[in-house]
Amino acid sequence: MNRINLAEPYIHGNEWQYVKRCLDSGWVSPAGRFVDEFEKEMAARLGSRHAVSCVNGTAALHTALLVSGIGPRDGVIVPTITFIAPVNAIRYTGADPVFMDCDDYLNMDAEKTADYIKKECRFRNGRLYDRRTKNRIRAILPVHVFGNPVDIEPLMDLAEEYDLKVIEDAAESLGSYYKAGRYKGKETGAIGDAGCLSFNGNKIITSGGGGMVVTDDRLLADKIRRLTTQAKDDPVRYIHNTVGYNYRLSNIQAALGLAQLERLDAFIRIKRRNFKLYDGYISNIDGLGLLKEPPYGFSNMWFYSLIVEKRRYGMDNMGLMRALAKEGIGSRPVWHLNHRQRPYLKSRSYRIEKAPLFYKKALNIPCGVELSEKEIKRVIKVIKKNAKR
């Protein structure tokens, strides 16, 4: 029997044709028609005024933080449950992460974020300081984990009240949006001061590695463009007044990305249909459930999270992962919690209570766009076989 992987790119659109055009024209470097078009289409899709492509999502986060003025002695509030990229990006700037707990949708807990600011920080002369570390809290970096939109309204209110930047990590949530509230109809990534995207091979669309920053702020977009192109201030004499980065996306990558973007809505439809199929089968297995989307948001359903209650199901998430692996089925627990990662053991964290519970229970199960109903049934069969009852 063939292997069922956790996630795989799906490349059956205009990818070959667009990449061929790059090769035939000789426009293969980080400039060219596809870079411009990919940025333009992405900005239109998200309803943002500007989009600047980057070599990957981590570079997008790094530059977005830098142009927001984040640096040493600053603190940035970030969830402990996330792929480590945004946490590392904070550290690249010399700033420190402040780790926040998650809510019931695996996203940064907005209520605890407010508590942290009110109880653990001091607001003086328009600046927010952590009482213990003395760091100046400059920004909130929410991550739309696995596609679920973050409860962003209260975070935006806090940002307004305490003059903080909001940099959204929408690497996993391209196409997710808000169904209700103040941001009804708004896409994730298009609400904060800047939104960062990733087009890595495992994301909902891929450019074979790539990223982008979207923003409505012209000045910010210009700064990002400059910083990602070695901060070249004079294109003839090559004058550089600051240290820049080579963080640009190549035309070939953009060609791939553009072709994939054309398929985004189709991918989301399939992901949501497969989620429903899984959910139908799983809902009558004792001790198991799938993490749902929040009532206020529409999720692209990038990853499916099975919540495994050890006592009732009969084994824990790691046990089920091993059982699935034996049958050639890929699955994975959520990331090791970031406040427990070695480089960040000394960083600040605030009342992390729910995240360790999800860490013990959650398991991501196959979610590729190419997954067939037959394969879903095969996954379910193994899950049922291992159930206590």
Ligand X SMILES: *Cc1c(COP(=O)(O)O)cnc(C)c1O
Q: Which residues bind to ligand X, rule: CB under 6 A?
A: 56-58, 82-83, 85-86, 143, 169, 171-172, 198, 200, 211
Q: For 143, which DSSP code?
A: B
Q: Which residue's CB is nearer to ligand X, number 171 or number 256?
A: 171
Q: Residue 253 Cβ, how far from ligand X at the closest point, in Å?
A: 11
99 and 349 in contact (C-beta within 8 Å)? yes
The angle at the Cα of 338, spanning 337 to 342, to the nearest 5 degrees, equals: 110
Q: Which residue's CB is nearer to ligand X, number 6 or number 323?
A: 6
Half-sphere exposure of 326 (CA within 13 A, CB side): 10
Token pair recorded at residue 375: 């394969």
Token pair recorded at residue 210: 């790539």
Q: Residue 18 Cβ, how far from ligand X at the closest point, in Å?
A: 20
Q: Residue 229 Cβ, how far from ligand X at the closest point, in Å?
A: 18
Residue nearest to ligand X (CB): 57
Q: Residue 198 Cβ, how far from ligand X at the closest point, in Å?
A: 3
Q: Which residue's CB is nearer to ligand X, number 32 or number 257?
A: 257
Beta strands in 115-215 (DSSP E): 121-124, 127-130, 136-140, 165-169, 177-178, 194-198, 211-215
Residues 68 and 289: their CA atoms lie apart, in Å, by 40
106 and 358 in contact (C-beta within 8 Å)? yes
Q: Residue 39 Cβ, how far from ligand X at the closest point, in Å?
A: 16
Q: Which residue's CB is nearer to ligand X, number 171 or number 363?
A: 171
Q: Which residue's CB is nearer to ligand X, number 89 or number 128?
A: 89
Q: Residue 121 Cβ, how far from ligand X at the closest point, in Å?
A: 25
Residue type for position 119: K
Q: Which residue's CB is nearer to ligand X, number 261 or number 282?
A: 261
Q: Which residue's CB is nearer to ligand X, number 145 or number 306?
A: 145
DSSP assignment of 291-337 equals PPPPTTEE----SEEEEE-HHHHSS-HHHHHHHHHHTTB--EEPPPP
210 and 199 in contact (C-beta within 8 Å)? yes
Q: Residue 94 Cβ, how far from ligand X at the closest point, in Å?
A: 19
